[in-house]
Amino acid sequence: MRLKDLVEDRSFWYGVALTLFGAVLALFSHYIAGNIPLTALGLACIILGSSIALTPSSPVPRLAVKAMLEGASLNLEAILEEFNVEGKAIYMPPRDGRVFAFIPLSSNPSSVEVEEAARAPLRVLTSLGGKLGLMAFPPGSEVVKLAGVPLGSSVEEAVNLALVEFLEGADSAKAVKEGEKIIVEIANPIIEAELPRVKGSLGSLAVSVAGCALAQSLGKPIRFSSEMVEGRKIKAEFEAV
């Protein structure tokens, strides 16, 4: 883990605080109080605090996770470019434990066609009612599965569990459901990639992970509508189909 990432890790500061406390306790107990048990306790705090400070909170470095997600998105970007896709993705409820996406090549499908997409074979190019679209597993699909986002969880709980707690892909995330619309606000996302086709159809990487989490938690198709960047925040809008 790089020094910058280590310093930004909250557990690093907990470890430093415990180490300093142990040092003060050990010095006071040995030289002033002459208390051997307290001196030993202080030394133990130093050892424990140093271990916490130097141990990363996540066994997988953030940069490695970011690289894997971006690598998976590059293949998807090439496919979308090949078919000149312009439609907005619909994140479908899990099939065989994984959320997948139906991406229309042009116009948005009707609700009947969306229901048909949920049962259609998972082929790259699919026709629904005469409208062509692509079937794909977004990078966030595996993230949501490994994070164990439960069906029936609240939208904010689902997005936080997948994006913030498991992936550590952002500082925080808020999600609010207003009727059929869902507004997601992501603060300081660390997973980003300049992939215009993926961003236009599925949303940026952090937004795409959020879309997968929403489809998993609500158990229904979720259409990506738009996203807007405001400084270090992303505001995205989805719609339950």
Structural domain harbouring 111: 62-240
Are 93 and 189 in a shared domain?
yes
* Closest to 219 in 3D by CA, of 118, 133, 102, 108: 118
Are 222 and 103 in a shared domain?
yes
Alpha carbons within 13 angstroms on the beta-carbon side of residue 161 total 19
Chain segment 122-157, per-residue pLDDT in tens: 778 887 767 788 888 888 888 898 888 999 999 999
Residue 232, phi then psi, degrees to nearest 5: -100, 25
Are 112 and 180 in a shared domain?
yes
Chain segment 148-199, per-residue pLDDT in tens: 899 999 999 999 999 998 888 888 999 999 999 999 999 998 877 778 899 9
Are 7 and 113 in a shared domain?
no
Chain segment 75-97, per-residue pLDDT in tens: 888 888 888 888 899 999 988 88
pTM above 0.85, yes or no: no
Inter-residue contact 167 to 209 (CB < 8 Å): yes
Are 38 and 72 in a shared domain?
no
Inter-residue contact 193 to 210 (CB < 8 Å): no
Tokens matching residue 172: 């925080």
What does each C-alpha distance from 236 to 175, 225, 228, 230 come to in angstroms?
Answer: 9, 8, 6, 11
Are 50 and 74 in a shared domain?
no
Are 33 and 70 in a shared domain?
no
**Structural domains of the chain, count:** 2
Chain segment 199-236, per-residue pLDDT in tens: 999 999 999 999 999 999 999 999 999 999 988 899 99
Are 179 and 133 in a shared domain?
yes
Cα gap 189→234, rounded to integer Å: 8
Say if residue 84 is exposed, middle or buried (CB neighbours under 10 Å; 0-12, 13-18, 19+): exposed
Helix (H) or strand (E) holding 47: helix 36-54
**Domain endpoint, select from 54, 73, 93:** 54
**Domain endpoint, select from 54, 72, 96:** 54
Q: How confident is the model at residue 9 (pLDDT cuts 50, 70, 90)?
A: low
Are 42 and 69 in a shared domain?
no
Are 130 and 169 in a shared domain?
yes
